[in-house]
């Protein structure tokens, strides 16, 4: 029986010089970036989602407008967020 020839060796994988800055695998822990959290996927930011997913939006508005929105929400018996969402939807082109 003849022995097989030994294949040529190739260099193994090695860490990049900036591996501590750009890790190749997620690190689980308290300092975990938001894009690595469970339930977050690329599909959330690309393409049209199957259903609307709530996101946080921070805006600065005049105090008088904030007061009006709060009063409207109280009058309707809904949250301030619901009043703002309805107002934004009504302004979007169809």
- pLDDT tens-place string over residues 2-48: 677 777 776 667 777 777 766 555 555 555 555 555 565 665 555 55
Asked whether residue 63 carries a pLDDT value surpassing 90, the answer given is yes
Which residue range(s) make up the domain with 69? 54-94
Residue 34 to residue 31: CA distance in whole angstroms: 9
Asked whether residue 86 is domain-assigned, the answer is yes
Given pLDDT bands bounded at 50, 70 and 90, which one contains residue 83?
Answer: very high
Residues 71 and 83 sit within 8 Å (Cβ to Cβ): no
Asked whether residue 44 is domain-assigned, the answer is no
Quick one: pLDDT at residue 38? 59
Number of domains in the chain: 1
Does this model's pTM top 0.75? no
User: Which residues, at least 6 apart from 50, have a Cβ–Cβ distance to it below 8 Å?
Assistant: none
Quick one: pLDDT at residue 68? 95
């Amino acid at each position: 029986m003849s022995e097989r020839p030994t294949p040529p060796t190739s260099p193994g994988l090695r860490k990049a010089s900036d591996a501590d800055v750009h890790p190749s695998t997620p690190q689980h822990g308290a300092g975990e970036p938001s894009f690595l959290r469970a339930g977050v996927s690329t599909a959330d930011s690309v393409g049209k989602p199957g259903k609307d997913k709530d996101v946080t939006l921070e805006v600065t508005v005049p105090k008088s407008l904030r007061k009006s929105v709060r009063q409207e929400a109280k009058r309707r018996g809904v949250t301030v967020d619901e009043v703002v969402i309805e107002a934004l939807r009504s302004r979007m082109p169809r």
